[in-house]
Amino acid sequence: MHAQNHFLTLVTFLPLLGVLAMLLLKSDDHVSIRRIALVTSLIEFVFSLGLLRYFSSADPNFQLQEIHDWIGRGIQYHLGIDGISLFLVLLTTFLTPLAILCSWRSIQKNVKGFFISLLVIETAMIGVFVSLDLFLFFVFWELTLIPMYFIVGIWGHERRVYAAIKFILYTMFGSILMLVAILWLYNLSPGTRGLPATFDFPEILYRMSHGQIPLGGTTEMLLFLAFLLAFAIKVPLFPLHTWLPDAHTEAPTAGSVILAGVMLKLGTYGILRFCLPLFPHAVMRAAPYVATLAIIGIVYGALVATVQRDLKRLVAYTSVSHLGFVVLGIFALNTIAVQGAVYQMLNHGVSTGALFLAVGMLYDRRHTHDIKQFGGLTTPMPVLMAFFCFIALSSLALPPLNGFIGEFLILIGTFAGHRAWAVWATSGAVLSAIYLLWAYQRVAFGKVTVDKNQKLPDASLREKLILVTLAAAIIFMGVASPLFTHRMAASADNVLRPFNQMQEAMRAKEHARAKLAISAPHPAQLSRFVGALPRPEPRRLVAPTSAAVLCSAGGSPAVLRPQAALECGSLFTLNESEGLPLCCNEAFVAPGTSGHRNHAPTPAALTAATTAASLIPLALRHEGNPVPPQFAGMGVRAFRVPDGVPGRDLLFPHPPLAVSATRVRHPERSRLAARDRAAEGSLFGFVLADSPARPAPASPRLLGGRSFSSDIRRPVYRSGALAPDLLLPSHPLTPGASPKSIAASPRVAP
Amino acid sequence: MFILHHLWLILALPLAGAAINGLLGWKWPKAAVNSIGVGSVALSFLCVLELIREFLQLGASQVPYFEKYFNWISAGIFKVDFALQVDQLTIVMLLVVTFVSLLVHIYSTGYMAHEGGYARFFSYMNLFVFFMLTLVLAANLVLMFVGWEGVGLCSYLLIGFWFLKDSAASAGKKAFITTRIGDFGFTVGILLAFWTFHSIDFGTIFHQAANMPVESAAAFGTLTVICLLLFAGAIGKSAQIPLYVWLPDAMEGPTPVSALIHAATMVTAGVYMVARMHPLFSRAPLALFVVAAVGAVTAFYAATIGVLQTDIKKVLAYSTVSQLGYMFLGCGVGAYAAGIFHLMTHAFFKGLLFLAAGSVIHAMGGEQDMRNMGGLRKKIPVTYWTMLAATLAIAGIPGFAGFFSKDEILEAARNSSGATVWLWVLGIVAAGLTSFYMFRLIFLTFFGKPRYDEHKVHVHESPRNMTIPLSILAFFSVVGGWFAAPHFFGGTDYFEQFLHPVFAAYAPPTPAIPPEAAATSTPAMELLHSLTGIPVILAVLGLFFAWWFYIHKPDAARRAKESLRGLYSLVYNKYFIDEVYAALIINPLLWISTNVLWHGVDETLIDGTVNGTAHVARGLGGQLREIQSGNARTYATWVVVGAVGFTVLLIAVWMVR
């Protein structure tokens, strides 16, 4: 195990060894420089394949982790990979040798600097994929920019300076906002428990998902947007894409290959790695908008690509379209779509990288990208054009080539939740055939129209080697996709866990509601059941300010009227000020009445109970819901009902949730208390309707943790006998529980 | 049971042939390319024959025979296996595909003998056979889609085989893109089917669909939507209205390609798909009606265009569109077996017509315009007689293959419920038109006086490797329909009986089409009825008019043309559909993409903003730079201004507090 511990460091920095070696060479020794670059990148590729050996596909956590203290105050050197970054690292190490090979002859100016830049970029990109410390991540993120800036600006074509500056300013703009967000997160990281501040991503994620770092809705959204902007520029997401066509058109071939093949994925990777797990609620809220932009990008990129006259610019616009698919897949928040998105990142890297390589080979011959300058190229160069055709087919997602699988998985996954999105995105698949085949026809078919093209040499051995490698990858990824998806499945699920939990809760809710709508318990039966519950000593009755409701989690839609809750009957109350939950089952307190009366629950009270219960999911789902004024200052909690409560299965079908609504006197304290309880797992959700200090009913805020387990004080409940008719399996009171589970439960058996 | 257990062999042989010829064939002699190209398909055909022998020994419970090889896609609950299945429908398709492919491959060794790219041609053809067999053997929707797209690819490559011709390259592209528009529907259909049934395996889908009620045409549901979406794919692939426009252009490809891909096999994939998905279609009456209506209208519409075409292959292309319409009409009225039957006989006679047309073109040295032919009957007798057999078959002359299959479809259309009577009317009118344009083709080509320069064109019969496939197909164009013949004498329709297990397995409890009524009880009457039935009358009338216009009174055609100038020009120009599409869809789309999206949004709006920001920043900086003038007096002024301003600020703050 120890031997592997430095494996990731080795993989990350190995290219720099090549750089060191090159520094020792004279700068006019081009042959040795090229050879060293190629050999280094090949060794690097072989080494990175070793990751597959040590990687366990069943483990959703980060693997091959490496942690060292770096710059005090919470900045660590922390590396690790999961099923998502694994393949992106491999994509990087796969494409770099090809990029070096394709620059073999075409780069003649300052050869040393060029190959050094390529290898530095390789290290930086791998660094981005394997860093688990936000600070380290940012360092690598910025490190990718500088060599690329030089590659475009020095070795590019005519308008290279404009393109390079546009590229770096665009990206830097996003990076700066991300830096602010990272620092903000660092400052938030001590959380409620006052732990040491840290940049460590898994640690921050742990604290967040355990409710230790309170984020208001706005804070979360701002942080999310700052990260998203940086990533969206990189992707690029419409309308932030205009740097891309310029950068691609002006970059040398190797620059385009690296840029399209890997650097664009830094953006989508960032969204997957950071935005989704850290800011799930903001993601949920923003998903429709981001997905809309992605779909616009798909269609827009395709349409604009169709009418391009410059071959490289055309390919650049296809990236806008294809990356739109990836972003759509991510924001579909569904494991099929996310796996499809990751797969599509790899496909795009291979296919579009290959397209750029092929276009570069044409450029090497003719020094132009103008489609008009080509035409009929199949006659002089049948082999090169055959490969070009094959690559284009892969890019337009022809089954059974690689592009099809990614695109289809994204479509399938997106369709599950958002049919309209999937249908719009499918149109992109039609358009891709138009722009690629039209371009191919103009380049390859017909008679040779330009005399210079008559005698162009066909693909050389070096070029054939590049093309055959890519074609093999295209076929392999098309046929053997489970080899990839099996390894990324666990990680994709891990990224989606918060969303799956939210969706599961929603589903359960709807399920319960649907069942209740079919057979809602009759109030009289419910009251009989309540009457049969054991009564603890009515010693400590609660003040009328505190009203709590215990009822089924499945409120039927018929009782969703908030007014009903005003008459707020409470079955059980929690006395927050005492710090102990106290049960007081005879108190049915209507607001406005002082004191409490011992009486049987009225149907109205029961209705109110159900209503209050439906508040939680409402708040969970529609955070923007206006709060009924009656609930101003109420904290509504949902907690799990422990197993010991008699008749639990009858009243709390899916999941066994209880809900309490309490007027909160110390909002901040309650919030923190709720947070801690959520962290312990006893609380499912906590919604503060609004604080009494600011009575205007603003939007409620969801504050709580997301996991739950049973931790209600047991002594409060004692098992007791129930009226026999309540236990009949066919009883209308058994909406959620199957008759079998009731009969099997020893506690409720008479 | 060797082949049953190794179904993949049927696929692997043509794929291997394609790979070998594609990678190595270009430096091999033609004989070697031939033996690989033809041999792989021949072996595949033999495998199919052996498969049939083995298949017939299977018990009813073992059908469909299912074989899974490996997991191809897997993510979450979405899993696609590379799995093949065989049932009676597959058997029919396998037989048709491999048999016609084999003949066309043999024919191609003659037809393509003098063409460049010989190995490339056979490589593409083999690849096509591979994808077509994948489509047919697939046991799930996605794998079927692989074959579906794959044959589209081969069609693209082969239409554009002579890529030096711009028209050929454009036609290939048009074919691919047009069918992809249909595939848009197909893809969404698969998505919806998966999330409806949570599976893409045919077995699972059909099983679940069998438990679903028949949807009503008025308040249709998911099944109807799925079927309509899938049918959109079929409209593209099988060239139905409104996506038929690619097929006539596809005639730019070599003639064997037209025969195999654009007549006998690929274009019938849509019909196969509808028949394959019959458990869904049968429960979606609205979708079925759309299938029937599109089929009938296309059958009629394409036939009218065929009447005035002068290019021998274009006539056959529109004829194919029209005949495909018949197949859909058959499926649409629930007579799936009749549709598949027509698919099979059509593969024989239309494949033959194209091959024979190719032989004519070959004989004429590349001439395709029928106005420049004539009197070829004596010079190329084999071609003439075989083509005549196929024409009799397609025209529906009793006794020939097309008669039986077309009659079954029309019969089914007539017997189906009320709303589809006009579909039958369209069908029989189209039958008359078919007979007319086909005999017009025969008369123009083979009769009358030669209208070409006999000194320049040396008409010669094709070599034997071309005429033998013609003869074999002619034989089947004559007898291919006799499986159903006993039916007309009150006996069984063997073809339908063979396919019965497939279409009966998941039939809805109340069949959409009531079984044929008492008519069968009087065999003699039935025979008389069929023989003298309206379709036959119309077919004979078509023959007669063709004879009248093109043999008896050649002037009549010209006079009719002049008196109906408007209609003539409308039909002659194929109703201007290509022009309408260009004007309404393609050109606006290109214009918007160029001027609004690219120059407007991208360059002006977004880049304008980006560059504008930069310019403003630079301009501001430039202005501020002026302040740094190096003039001490200016600096002193600024110091004073600053001091005063700061003081004022301090005072203001102090006063506010």
**Residue A524 confidence class, pLDDT cut points 50, 70, 90:** low
| Window A:464-483, CB contacts with B under 8 Å | 479, 481-482
Question: Which among B605, B586, B587 has a CA at the least distance from the CA of B597?
Answer: B605
Q: Does A394 touch chain B (CB under 8 A)?
A: no
**A22 assigned to some structural domain:** no
| Among the ranges given (A122-126, A183-187, A743-747, B443-447), the one the predictor scored with the smallest mean pLDDT | A743-747
Alpha carbons A703 and A688: distance in angstroms, whole number: 8
Which position has the token pair 């780069």? A107
Q: Which of B74, B184, B592 sits opposite A486 (nearest CB)?
A: B74
H-helix segments, B364-420:
381-395, 401-415
Other CB atoms within a 10 A radius of the CB of residue B647 amount to 10
| Among the ranges given (A186-195, A414-423, A639-648, B116-125), the one the predictor scored with the smallest mean pLDDT | A639-648
Other CB atoms within a 10 A radius of the CB of residue B366 amount to 8
**Residue B481 confidence class, pLDDT cut points 50, 70, 90:** confident
Which position has the token pair 């960032």? A270
- Considering chain B, what percentage of its residues have pLDDT values greater than 70? 95
The pLDDT, as a whole number, for residue A25 is: 87
- Give A98→chain B minimum CA distance, Å: 23
Q: What does the pLDDT look like over A232-262, one tens digit per residue?
A: 999 989 889 989 999 999 999 999 999 999 9
Q: Which of B76, B170, B593 sits opposite A306 (nearest CB)?
A: B593
The pLDDT, as a whole number, for residue A61 is: 85
Q: Does B505 touch chain A (CB under 8 A)?
A: no
| Window A:259-298, CB contacts with B under 8 Å | none
**Residue B420 confidence class, pLDDT cut points 50, 70, 90:** low
Q: What is the mean pLDDT of chain A?
A: 74
| Window B:586-625, CB contacts with A under 8 Å | 589-590, 592-594, 597-598, 601-602, 606-607, 610, 614
| Window A:304-323, CB contacts with B under 8 Å | 304, 306-308
Q: What does the pLDDT look like over B589-642, one tens digit per residue?
A: 888 888 888 888 888 888 888 888 888 888 898 888 887 778 888 888 889 999
Mean pLDDT of A477-503: 89
The pLDDT, as a whole number, for residue B301 is: 93
The pLDDT, as a whole number, for residue B418 is: 54
Question: Which among B506, B509, B511 has a CA at the least distance from the CA of B277?
Answer: B506
Nearest CA in chain B to A308: B594
**Residue A644 confidence class, pLDDT cut points 50, 70, 90:** low
With a CB cutoff of 8 Å and minimum separation 6, the contacts of A205 are: A277, A278
Amino acid occupying residue B340:
I
The segment with the largest mean pLDDT, out of A527-536, B231-240, B402-411, B561-570, is B231-240
The pLDDT, as a whole number, for residue B550 is: 84
Mapping DSSP to helix (H, G, I), strand (E, B) and coil, where does residue B620 land? Answer: helix
Which position has the token pair 């058996």? A749
pLDDT at position A605 over 70 = no
**Residue A289 confidence class, pLDDT cut points 50, 70, 90:** very high
Q: Does A428 touch chain B (CB under 8 A)?
A: no
Looking at the fold, whether A578 and A684 belong to one and the same domain comes out as: yes
The pLDDT, as a whole number, for residue A592 is: 27
- Are A420 and B141 in contact, with CB atoms under 8 Å apart? no
The pLDDT, as a whole number, for residue A601 is: 40
Mean pLDDT of B400-416: 85
pLDDT at position A119 over 90 = yes
Q: What is the mean pLDDT of chain B?
A: 88
Amino acid occupying residue A540:
R
Q: Does A444 touch chain B (CB under 8 A)?
A: yes
Cis peptide bond N-terminal to A239, omega within 30: yes
Say how far residue A411 (Cα) sits from the centre of its chain: 17
Q: Higher-confidence residue: A80 or A704?
A: A80
Q: Does A168 touch chain B (CB under 8 A)?
A: no
Q: Do A379 and B164 touch (CB under 8 A)?
A: yes
Looking at the fold, whether A548 and A470 belong to one and the same domain comes out as: no
| Stated length of chain B | 657
- Are A69 and A196 in contact, with CB atoms under 8 Å apart? no
Contacts of B172 in chain A (CB under 8 A): 441
Which position has the token pair 């007027």? A663
Q: What does the pLDDT look like over A533-589, one tens digit per residue?
A: 444 333 332 222 222 333 322 332 222 222 222 233 333 332 222 222 222 222 222
- Considering chain A, what percentage of its residues have pLDDT values greater than 70? 68
The radius of gyration of chain B from alpha carbons, rounded to an integer in Å, stands at 31
Contacts of B74 in chain A (CB under 8 A): 481-482, 485-486
Q: Do A437 and B177 touch (CB under 8 A)?
A: yes
Full-model pTM:
0.80
B27, B78, B176: which to substitute to probe chain A, counting the most A Cβ within 10 Å?
Answer: B78
**Residue B379 confidence class, pLDDT cut points 50, 70, 90:** confident
The pLDDT, as a whole number, for residue B38 is: 94
Mean pLDDT of A212-223: 86
Nearest CA in chain A to B165: A446
- Give B496→chain A minimum CA distance, Å: 34
Q: Which of A376, A404, A426 sits opposite B184 (nearest CB)?
A: A426
Q: Which of A170, A409, A447 sits opposite B75 (nearest CB)?
A: A409
Alpha carbons A109 and A106: distance in angstroms, whole number: 9
pLDDT at position A714 over 70 = no
The pLDDT, as a whole number, for residue B96 is: 94
The pLDDT, as a whole number, for residue A291 is: 94
- Considering chain A, what percentage of its residues have pLDDT values greater than 90? 41
Q: Does A170 touch chain B (CB under 8 A)?
A: yes
Q: Does B24 touch chain A (CB under 8 A)?
A: no
B153, B163, B230, B591: which to substitute to probe chain A, counting the most A Cβ within 10 Å?
Answer: B163
| Tokens standing for residue B204 | 């699972």
Give the dihedral sign, CA A25/A31/A37/A39. negative
Other CB atoms within a 10 A radius of the CB of residue A217 amount to 17
Mapping DSSP to helix (H, G, I), strand (E, B) and coil, where does residue B149 land? Answer: helix
Q: What is residue B311's DSSP assignment? A: B
Mean pLDDT of A506-515: 69
pLDDT at position A737 over 50 = no
**Residue A702 confidence class, pLDDT cut points 50, 70, 90:** very low
Domain interval for residue A633? 523-744
Q: Do B72 and A479 touch (CB under 8 A)?
A: yes
Contacts 24+ apart (CB under 8 A), B377-383: B377/B446, B377/B447, B379/B459, B379/B460, B379/B461, B380/B459, B380/B460, B380/B461, B380/B462, B381/B461, B382/B461, B382/B462, B382/B467, B382/B470, B382/B471, B383/B356, B383/B359, B383/B461, B383/B462, B383/B467, B383/B470
Mean pLDDT of B51-56: 92
**Between β-strands B78-86 and B65-75, what pairing exists: parallel, antiparallel or unpaired?**
antiparallel
Q: Do A408 and B73 touch (CB under 8 A)?
A: yes
Looking at the fold, whether A481 and A596 belong to one and the same domain comes out as: no
Q: What does the pLDDT look like over A83-97, one tens digit per residue?
A: 999 999 999 999 999
Which position has the token pair 């039966």? A525
pLDDT at position A710 over 60 = no
Q: What does the pLDDT look like over B336-347, one tens digit per residue?
A: 999 999 999 999
Amino acid occupying residue A398:
L
Alpha carbons B571 and B307: distance in angstroms, whole number: 9
Which of A461, A481, A496 is the last residue before a domain boundary? A496
The pLDDT, as a whole number, for residue A620 is: 33
**A254 assigned to some structural domain:** no
pLDDT at position A727 over 70 = no
Looking at the fold, whether A611 and A730 belong to one and the same domain comes out as: yes
Alpha carbons B273 and B226: distance in angstroms, whole number: 13
Contacts of B77 in chain A (CB under 8 A): 336
Q: What is residue B469's DSSP assignment? A: H
**A589 assigned to some structural domain:** yes
Q: Does B19 touch chain A (CB under 8 A)?
A: no
Q: Do B601 and A300 touch (CB under 8 A)?
A: yes
Looking at the fold, whether A416 and A561 belong to one and the same domain comes out as: no
Q: Does B246 touch chain A (CB under 8 A)?
A: no
**A260 assigned to some structural domain:** no
- Identify the bridge partners of residue B80 per DSSP, sorted by sequence position: B73
Looking at the fold, whether A436 and A550 belong to one and the same domain comes out as: no
Looking at the fold, whether A451 and A542 belong to one and the same domain comes out as: no
**Residue A683 confidence class, pLDDT cut points 50, 70, 90:** low
Q: What does the pLDDT look like over A175-210, one tens digit per residue?
A: 999 999 999 999 888 888 888 888 999 999 988 888
**Residue A212 confidence class, pLDDT cut points 50, 70, 90:** confident
Alpha carbons A120 and A109: distance in angstroms, whole number: 18
Contacts of B149 in chain A (CB under 8 A): 398-399, 404
Which of A496, A513, A531 is the last residue before a domain boundary? A496
**A210 assigned to some structural domain:** no
Q: Does A448 touch chain B (CB under 8 A)?
A: no
Alpha carbons B277 and B179: distance in angstroms, whole number: 19
Contacts of B598 in chain A (CB under 8 A): 304, 307-308
Alpha carbons B610 and A730: distance in angstroms, whole number: 69
pLDDT at position A658 over 70 = no
Q: Do B78 and A413 touch (CB under 8 A)?
A: yes
Q: Do B187 and A393 touch (CB under 8 A)?
A: no
Looking at the fold, whether A489 and A405 belong to one and the same domain comes out as: yes
Q: Do A489 and B75 touch (CB under 8 A)?
A: yes
Looking at the fold, whether A529 and A456 belong to one and the same domain comes out as: no
Q: Do A308 and B598 touch (CB under 8 A)?
A: yes
pLDDT at position B79 over 70 = yes
- Are B287 and B227 in contact, with CB atoms under 8 Å apart? yes
Q: Do B76 and A170 touch (CB under 8 A)?
A: no
The pLDDT, as a whole number, for residue B362 is: 87
pLDDT at position A741 over 50 = no
**A551 assigned to some structural domain:** yes
**A4 assigned to some structural domain:** no
Question: Which among B498, B395, B507, B506 has a CA at the least distance from the CA of B95?
Answer: B498
Instruction: Please tell me the total count of domains within chain A.
Output: 2
ipTM (interface pTM): 0.90
Looking at the fold, whether A687 and A740 belong to one and the same domain comes out as: yes
pLDDT at position B371 over 60 = yes
pLDDT at position B297 over 70 = yes
- Give A479→chain B minimum CA distance, Å: 6
**A67 assigned to some structural domain:** no
Contacts of A415 in chain B (CB under 8 A): 188, 191-192, 194-195
Nearest CA in chain A to B601: A239
Q: Does B75 touch chain A (CB under 8 A)?
A: yes
The pLDDT, as a whole number, for residue A540 is: 32
Looking at the fold, whether A532 and A489 belong to one and the same domain comes out as: no
Q: Which of A398, A430, A481 sits opposite B181 (nearest CB)?
A: A430
**Residue B1 confidence class, pLDDT cut points 50, 70, 90:** confident
Looking at the fold, whether A488 and A600 belong to one and the same domain comes out as: no
Q: What does the pLDDT look like over B121-159, one tens digit per residue?
A: 999 999 999 999 999 999 999 999 999 999 999 999 999
pLDDT at position A685 over 70 = no
Which of A449, A479, A496 is the last residue before a domain boundary? A496
